[in-house]
Amino acid sequence: MAPWHRYNPFRWLRKQAVILMYHRIATPTLDPWQLAVSPAAFEQHLRVLRAHAHVVPLAELVDRINGNKLDKNYVAITFDDGYIDNYETALPLLEHYALPATFFITHKNIDTFAEFWWDELAGLLLESPTLPNKITLPGAETTFHFDLGNDTLLTAEKRAQYRTYLACAPVDARTQLYLKLWEYLSPLPDAQQQATLAAIRQWAGVGPLRRAAYRSVTARELQHLSVNPLVTIGAHTSSHPALTCHSAQYQEHEISSNKQFLEQLLQQPIQLFAYPSGNFNATTTALVQQLGFSAAFTTRAESITPQTALGTLGRFQVNEQTGEEFRQALVHWFDS
């Protein structure tokens, strides 16, 4: 690795910015969507950013885009969903390196130990010691059927295999079932998702998973997070739906109720919004503008220029990687 003081590949860049997207700072045993970055790796990322990038609050970056005042090396850090490790692990590291970040919060699970449905689904299917052979779920349009065949027993070998399994590359019947049920649940409204999860729990013979490491922040923790001068809070819907699968009325309720909840709890305006899973359409962007947000953020891996529309600002998902790997990725992202 060439010393940074000899060669900084960012120094030639002009009027371009990169927005980073994290979800969890943790080391879970399952991470099929690559949402987690270990605390050690995250600290390496922060060292790279602290030394060689101009990290600014997301609201300032929006203002600079709006005023055509972008310059080289601008980076903003964001987190989606509101996992407890954002507060317990990410915040102290951000404070140590004095780097600002924005946290987009989904509020439905606040002050509960309920997990996000995709986490509980993975736990039910990929960590239960045994599962029944066949599952049938009645649906409004079609009935869901699946046969696990010989994969009803969770062996030590499979447990180890699942630690590196990625959702879109199933390795056996259990992981195939996880992906198919994830696809089945994703477009449903929250009430139907929860009813279906209850049916899956009953089939698996277990109660609701309430793992402390997977919970959302509490209201008090969120209040404490929000008053930190390094922190900005943004909206992320009430229950994290796939917005394009729903009516304008449903979308409006999910977005506006989340904004209202956060503003009432935190006693501050909420002006930034992130589309859950980057899922949006023309209806969504129009609603976000009507509800008074100054900018909205996708999951499209695109760098920011003065010409980027404020309603569809791209972000790069950061995965588990060393500081040097992150540095190389950052160079690539600035050129995207």
Candidates 3.20.20.370, 3.40.50.300, 3.40.50.620, 3.30.413.10; CATH matching 13-113+213-334: 3.20.20.370
Model pLDDT, residue 138: 82
pLDDT tens for 217-266 read 999 999 999 999 999 999 999 999 999 999 999 999 999 999 999 999 99
**3 vs 295, residue with greater confidence:** 295
Token digits for 238?
A: 């009430």
Using DSSP's 3-state secondary structure scheme, residue 36 falls into strand
Core vs surface per residue 10-28: b (16+ CB within 10 A) or e: beebebbbbbbbbbbbbeb
Please, are residues 106 and 234 in contact by the beta-carbon 8 Å criterion? no
Q: Give 67's pLDDT tier (boundaries 50, 70, 90).
A: confident
Region(s) of the chain under CATH 3.20.20.370: 13-113+213-334
Answer yes or no: is pLDDT of 73 > 90.
Answer: no
The span from the CA of 138 to the CA of 161, in Å, is 31
* pLDDT at residue 336, rounded to an integer: 73
81: left (phi over 0), alpha (psi -120 to 50) or beta: left
Report the pLDDT value the prediction gives residue 39, as an integer from 0 to 100. Answer: 98
CA angle 83, 84, 88 (to 5 degrees): 135
What pLDDT, in 10s, does the model give residues 47-59? 999 998 999 999 9
Which residue did the predictor score with more confidence, 3 or 258?
Answer: 258
Whether the pLDDT of residue 141 is over 80: the answer is no
Q: Is the pLDDT of residue 13 over 70?
A: no
User: Which neighbouring-strand residues pair with 74?
Assistant: 17, 54
Per-residue pLDDT band for 335 (boundaries 50, 70, 90) equals confident
Q: Is the pLDDT of residue 12 over 70?
A: no
- Between 12 and 218, the higher pLDDT residue: 218
The whole-model pTM stands at 0.94
- 208 touches 117 (CB < 8 A): no
Structure confidence at residue 140 (pLDDT): 61
Q: Which two tokens stand for residue 126?
A: 């990929």
Write the burial class of residue 96 (CB in 10 Å: 0-12 exposed, 13-18 middle, 19+ buried): exposed
CA 230 from centre of chain: 20
Q: What's the mean pLDDT when you consider all of the chain? A: 93
Q: Which residue has the higher pLDDT, 14 or 103?
A: 103
The stretch 323-331 carries a mean pLDDT of 96
pLDDT above 60 for 8: no
Question: For residue 19, what are the β-bridge partners?
Answer: 76
State the pLDDT confidence band at 14, using cuts at 50, 70 and 90.
Answer: low
Does the pLDDT at position 165 exceed 80? yes
pLDDT band at 72 (very low <50, low <70, confident <90, very high): confident
